[in-house]
Structure 1
């Protein structure tokens, strides 16, 4: 108090109110829309329901650890808990900038979370992929069939799909050249890394779907393959809400998710099971199943390093027959039979 760095409880905002100030600051800084959406979910679904009514002045290091324990007991993964705690730290940082807090209880904190969560990506089963393709084919617009097939058999990221141009679709050579992307602000720009610039073979089904879609595709100055109705960059949200999510829900491929009702209370809702990125994972798994080695997968997926490839898909390169032979060899050496 003598140094003037103490913030009395009488002026300390609640965590929920401080969270709203942080989100406001994120918008003022023009962060990508997807980033802000993720931060809003952290506040609305994970922070506010547990500690939203607490004042920042009450949030000590033990209180933050107790909050992390609550999240764990509530079924949140270790990865999600770490993200939420980082967001809570950003809330305190913004509060300190405004003179509403003088503490940083998340700095250097050791959450001591058990690393038992499965790190492997969730990949649609072949039956689910077949149902998704069938659902996309049944849609009136040919766009959805083309989009799903390109994502499933060529492995483009969502941003690459949204930025793909017809000039980069070589029907004669049966290749797609990935040369640009569209970000969350609908701006066309460079790819994530040098390795992301790549050329991919199109299977006959993809080739035919794109030829059919091109006849009806809205024209625009950007020459986009999957534009909106006036030829401009389509938003990721529209691709999901107007196409990919309804296709999954119609096929019964759903999951349960926490949300807030009109009164602000947590509820459980039924949603589509996968985002578009799941089709990229599915593509990688199909390529690996066909015998592509890790270096080939790195190139096809546009990964910046082989480490990214192994960290994401290393478990799919397992050779079960070799493992069985090794196990039998150990038995033979030990027992001699």
Structure 2
């Protein structure tokens, strides 16, 4: 039988300093482990990982980000378990071998960066917020020494912006007014997937023509401008159509789901966009990659392969800033809407707020 990634009590007595061993002797090993309020909430069984996810979920991570972190850590835990290495006993070499395992699986650099960041944050959590701090073999700071540039990984997937003709085809292929309006808002504002799904009715300022992004990814709240046409469309949507999409739910969200307060996952919204692109004849598969065990729900072709599509919600964000650039909107203004502090980041998307927003509206005329 493959051992648990958590050490048993005998191992603990042999490997940790006296202070921690004394703690374990004074109480049961279960008390030494971090407390988890909802142990069945996550698929992974490790109490340290569950406690870490439970601490960050909601406060710092959206539901979809929590799922990604859980998948990353489940893969790391399974990797250690296969090698009979305990979570607390893993060292820098073990993490490097995990990175090399990801490279062998065909993961791209951004994917490996995400996994490595999650593993590092897990060990920081254990060191700073659990009684097992002194039982750790690894120093989380050591993980910053891993240079992913040294590895030969597949090139990043480059999604081209959609043309205005392709956008109109996409809008026409939407199978509901709500879905069409979601796509229009995505192209006009450049909001990320989770930010689109989390727009509340109260976030829309119909007087000033702005949408307040109240809980953005890794950032402070900010505002984006919307055109007069979109303002009118959203007003009509709220007054005449929105309530019909969630008759049994008292939803605060601008775009409620048919059976819930909102679209709950990034995958749900991506499916809407991806399927409409297929109907419009503008979708294509850019690449495929292996899906690790336990993540088959993310594959399209079969249980072992994930297809990377050209048209996704992220494509619409990329299209927004490309169209802004083509319309002559200056980089600082595009940076403002993209909520990017580094102009170099906003530049990648383009292969005193009131005045800036007015200028953007004057120059940027999004397609309908």
Q: TM-score, normalised by structure 1?
A: 0.66
Question: Which residue of 1 is the match for residue 365 of structure 2?
Answer: none
Q: In the TM superposition, what is the alpha-carbon distance from 1:35 to its structure 2 partner?
A: 2.9
CA 77–166 in structure 1, closer or farther in 2 if over 3 Å, else same: same
Deviation readout 1:291-326 (Å, 9 max, x if unpaired): 2211221233344x3x2x322325837xxxxxxxxx
CA 222–136 in structure 1, closer or farther in 2 if over 3 Å, else same: same
Question: Which residue of 2 is the match for residue 104 of structure 1?
Answer: 138
Q: In the TM superposition, what is the alpha-carbon distance from 1:37 to its structure 2 partner?
A: 0.9
**Structure 2: unaligned runs, 5 residues or longer:** 1-13, 22-28, 30-42, 297-301, 352-368
CA 75–106 in structure 1, closer or farther in 2 if over 3 Å, else same: farther
Q: In the TM superposition, what is the alpha-carbon distance from 1:244 to its structure 2 partner?
A: 2.3
SS in 2 for 1:197: strand
Q: In the TM superposition, what is the alpha-carbon distance from 1:273 to its structure 2 partner?
A: 4.6
Alignment match of 2:66 (pick from 19, 36, 43): 36
Asked whether the 8 Å contact 2:334–2:346 carries over to 1, the reply is: no
Distance, in Å, in 2 between the alignment partners of 1:216 and 1:151 is: 19
Question: Which residue of 1 is the match for residue 101 of structure 2?
Answer: 70
Question: Which residue of 2 is the match for residue 178 of structure 1?
Answer: 211
Asked whether the 8 Å contact 1:155–1:279 carries over to 2, the reply is: yes
Alignment match of 2:350 (pick from 316, 319, 322): 316
Asked whether the 8 Å contact 1:177–1:198 carries over to 2, the reply is: yes
Question: Which residue of 2 is the match for residue 229 of structure 1?
Answer: 258
Question: Which residue of 2 is the match for residue 4 of structure 1?
Answer: 18
Q: Aligned-pair RMSD on alpha carbons?
A: 4.5
Deviation readout 1:80-121 (Å, 9 max, x if unpaired): 333323333344456673649431154324113317989999
Distance, in Å, in 1 between the alignment partners of 2:113 and 2:259 is: 41
Question: Which residue of 2 is the match for residue 216 of structure 1?
Answer: 241
Question: Which residue of 1 is the match for residue 52 of structure 2?
Answer: 26
Tell whether 2:189 aligns with 1:163: no
Alignment match of 2:91 (pick from 34, 57, 60): 60
Question: Which residue of 2 is the match for residue 201 of structure 1?
Answer: 227
CA 18–123 in structure 1, closer or farther in 2 if over 3 Å, else same: closer
Distance, in Å, in 1 between the alignment partners of 2:149 and 2:278 is: 34
Distance, in Å, in 2 between the alignment partners of 1:121 and 1:284 is: 18
Alignment match of 1:269 (pick from 290, 296, 306): 306
Question: Which residue of 1 is the match for residue 325 of structure 2?
Answer: 288
Tell whether 2:288 aligns with 1:256: yes
Pairs aligned (count):
293
Deviation readout 1:20-51 (Å, 9 max, x if unpaired): 3344213432513233212122134x535644
CA 237–68 in structure 1, closer or farther in 2 if over 3 Å, else same: closer
Asked whether the 8 Å contact 2:201–2:252 carries over to 1, the reply is: yes
Asked whether the 8 Å contact 2:270–2:313 carries over to 1, the reply is: no
Tell whether 2:111 aligns with 1:88: no
**Structure 1: unaligned runs, 5 residues or longer:** 12-16, 185-190, 318-337
Q: In the TM superposition, what is the alpha-carbon distance from 1:148 to its structure 2 partner?
A: 0.6
CA 222–119 in structure 1, closer or farther in 2 if over 3 Å, else same: farther
